[in-house]
Amino acid sequence: MIQLWLNLPSHLKFVPTGYQDLRAGRQAMHTEPGVLVQVISGKTGAVRGPAVNQWPILGAVITLDPRTEYRQVIDGAERAFAYVIAGRLAIGGRSVGTGQTAWSDPVSGQGDATTLNLATGDGDERTTVLLFAGRPIGESVVASGPFVMNTRAEIEQAYRDFHSGKFGSIPRRTRLPAGA
């Protein structure tokens, strides 16, 4: 299971809460020789992921066969991270392996396209990488418990809203049976 919480710009902080259960194998798929891209959010190739977001992001799980290369185009104003779930690859000229994360900084503020190159080495193992990219928000961040806001006063309001029931009902049990 992968769980990702996203920060939002201040004008979107108080949108209604939501949860999306995006099960493995139900994402949009993009394939190339030796490459499988499970698109969670945003667009890759001709496919768009099923996630509905308040702030645009690209999210994908990419599986590469040995000695394979994949190029992902992103907006040049976006910041990206690639977390290697299994295997080893070179991204942006740096080698990263299982459990490691590679970050990119925006290459321009103009939104020009840039390409992230992911390439596996000469080994015999498949590589799986989680790739996310989005435009930096550029606002102050205050975090406390499950809340991320821009000011301490907003954090306090979020706790008041939570305790007064304004976040809606909270399930007492998961809907999945144990071991599923």
pLDDT digits (tens, 9 = 90+) for 54-96: 889 999 999 999 999 999 888 888 889 999 999 999 987 889 9
**Which run of H or of E encompasses 156?**
helix 152-163
Alpha carbons 123 and 45: distance in angstroms, whole number:
27
- Predicted structure pTM score: 0.80
Close Cβ partners of 53 (under 8 Å, ≥ 6 residues apart): 6, 41
**Which run of H or of E encompasses 158?**
helix 152-163
**Which run of H or of E encompasses 101?**
strand 101-104
Q: What single letter denotes the amino acid at residue 80?
A: A
Residue 176 pLDDT level (bands cut at 50, 70, 90): low
Alpha carbons 142 and 144: distance in angstroms, whole number:
7
